[in-house]
Amino acid sequence: MTIDILQFVPLRPEVQRELEARYRVHGKDRLDEVASIVRGVVTNGHSGPPPHIIDRLAKLEVICSASVGYDGIPVEYARSKGIPVTNTPEVLNDDVADLAIALMIMTARRLVASDRYVRSGQWPVKGEYPLASRASGKTVGILGMGRIGREIGRRAEAMNNRVAYHSRRPVAGVSYDHYPDLVALANDSDFLIVIIPSTPETQKIVSKEVIEALGPSGILVNVARGAVVDEDALVDALVSGRLGGAGLDVFANEPQVPEVLFGMDNVVLQPHVGSATHETRRAMSQLVLDNLDAHFAGRPLLTEIK
């Protein structure tokens, strides 16, 4: 029996080939023609489908997302219609944690600005590059202590940092100091690394007050979602020197990035590449296909969002 799949984002080529060998796959440009026969959707955390499209897919049985975050998918709505949604937890933990630590070091040590200094020929002309700040032996505050937060903690600890965290409740099995108050954590931290899901409750949780508590020698690292930081307050604090620096992989209005940040040596900018390695994106694609296969073979889903 042929099973029709509507695809909002491509999978890695090797997995895409497998998908197309097992299913009849349609691009979202064919929505009008295939709406009544589609039984599965392949998407990611930013690409929907929105409720009005779900409503049009009368035979839809499952939505499989190639992302751990699902802020762009109406999961509750889908579930209310009996449609489970899967994501890709675990397989990207290391990559996102690596990037968080890289951004912490790159921002503290001014590695992008000093690279520019060499490439633009300034070293022989101007001499020694100005001193930077140490990234080890400090206090690293982590906002969010889920799977990726714990990997960030392990790496930060290995650099002889004190690790502390904020989450709604202390996390079982985690020995780092838990701060019930995020402002207090920011106040005590040299680095604040943000790895909390974007939900209605966490919008702009990194507020002006949190940013200012981190202060003129503090560094904010965001590898979560732009929406969890008050971006206007962040830009304002960076411009006025009330925040020491920022390492940012995510932004409020991607791919738009506030241009005022482009010229700042204390800011490192990345185009949302937390999970963007061949190895991890392949594993994410495979997990999407494995979830689809499980569903249509009548087996339990591997990573359903509960």
Interface residue list for ligand 8YV (CB under 6 A): 44-45, 66-69, 92, 272, 274-275
Question: Alpha-carbon distance 233 to 167, whole Å?
Answer: 22
Nearer to ligand 8YV, 44 or 286 (CB): 44
- The answer to whether residue 52 is catalytic is no
At closest approach, how far in Å is the CB of 67 from ligand 8YV?
3
- The answer to whether residue 61 is catalytic is no
- The answer to whether residue 46 is catalytic is no
Nearer to ligand 8YV, 11 or 205 (CB): 11
5 contacts 62 by C-beta, under 8 angstroms: no
Residues in the chain: 306
Nearer to ligand 8YV, 69 or 245 (CB): 69
Beta bridge partners of 246: 220, 267
69 contacts 195 by C-beta, under 8 angstroms: no
Question: Residue 295 burial (CB < 10 Å; 0-12/13-18/19+)?
Answer: buried
At closest approach, how far in Å is the CB of 81 from ligand 8YV?
23
At closest approach, how far in Å is the CB of 270 from ligand 8YV?
12
Nearer to ligand 8YV, 35 or 68 (CB): 68
83 contacts 301 by C-beta, under 8 angstroms: no
Q: Which tokens in the block code for residue 66?
A: 């190639």
130 contacts 219 by C-beta, under 8 angstroms: no
Q: Which entry of 110, 155, 166, 225 is annotated as an active-site residue?
A: 225
Q: Which entry of 22, 26, 147, 272 is annotated as an active-site residue?
A: 272
Buried b (16+ CB within 10 A) or exposed e, 269-292: bbebebbeeeebbbbbbbbbbbbb
At closest approach, how far in Å is the CB of 227 from ligand 8YV?
12
Q: Which entry of 76, 209, 254, 279 is annotated as an active-site residue?
A: 254
**Which residues does the annotation mark as catalytic?**
225, 254, 272
